[in-house]
Amino acid sequence: MTIHTLRRRLASLGTVLGLGIAMPFAVGVTPAYAVAQLEITKTHTGDFPRGGQGTFTIRVSNPGNEPTLMSGTRMTDVFPAGLTATSRDVTENTTGAAIICSLNAGTSVDCQSDEIPPGGGYTLEVVVSVATDAPCTVTNTATVGENDGSLSDSASDTVDIPGPNCNGGNGDGTSILPINLSGLIPIYNNINTNNNVLSPGASNTNSQTFRVNATP
């Protein structure tokens, strides 16, 4: 057991004992434990055009009232097919320690940090290139956890990638409306030349009689 883990458990025990002594007759009171928390969010802005670039913003934070473990945390984001990470940059760091991030052949990004203090965290921006044959929609998930597995969290982000066959289609080059124009053209010609809404060669006879009554 590390000193940090022992400190966390002792702090929680002290809180419980203190509340038990100060409020022995309190009813319905929930003790306020001193604990660390680990949260991650992942967002982007706009669509990612095929053959272009896009940027993800990943935020790791500790909204709790105790530091995370001294053994540190690890954040990993594996990108789906069609996206390749080209750069990463830590744009904000309130951990008080260095954040080391690496790209793994563009397929994923990995960040290591020391303990994160209460209210601390860091923000990472990752630029990805979009393949010309990328799917119309991709979703990937970033995860973060303490190195001993005590705390963990994950966040998913879905991105639209505009391109041919992505609007009004199935995304695979086929239409969602299976209309065969070769069947419509003869019907149109029949209506145009024969004034007939039925199939070519059919007849459509309509007879109407109108009478006018004159009033003297």
What pLDDT is attached to residue 107? 96
What is the per-residue DSSP string for 6-70?
A: HHHHHHHHHHHHHHHHH-TT-SSPPP-------EEEEEE-S---TTSEEEEEEEEE--SSS---T
For residue 154, which of 62, 35, 42, 64 has the smallest C-alpha distance? Answer: 42
Position 29 pLDDT exceeds 80: no
Could you tell me the residue ranges of all domains in the chain? 1-34, 36-196
What pLDDT is attached to residue 171? 43
Burial class (CB in 10 A: 0-12, 13-18, 19+), 35: middle
Q: What is the pLDDT of residues 115-162, one digit of tens each?
A: 999 999 999 999 999 999 999 999 999 999 999 888 999 999 999 999
Report residue 198's pLDDT band, with 50, 70 and 90 as the boundaries. low
3-state secondary structure string, 124-165? EEEEEEECCCCCCEEEEEEEEEECCCCCEEEEEEEEECCCCC
What pLDDT is attached to residue 157? 97
Q: What is the pLDDT of residues 49-65, one digit of tens each?
A: 999 999 999 999 999 99
What pLDDT is attached to residue 80? 95
Q: What is the pLDDT of residues 79-121, one digit of tens each?
A: 999 999 999 999 999 999 999 999 999 999 999 999 999 999 9
Q: What average pLDDT is seen over the chain?
A: 77
Task: Please state the rounded mean pLDDT for residues 62-86.
Answer: 95
Report residue 204's pLDDT band, with 50, 70 and 90 as the boundaries. low
Q: What percent of the chain has pLDDT over 90?
A: 56
Position 209 pLDDT exceeds 70: no
Report residue 194's pLDDT band, with 50, 70 and 90 as the boundaries. low
Report residue 18's pLDDT band, with 50, 70 and 90 as the boundaries. very low
Name the CATH architecture for the domain at 36-196: Sandwich (2.60)
User: Which residues are CB-neighbours of 26 under 8 A, at least 6 positions away?
Assistant: 19
What pLDDT is attached to residue 34? 74
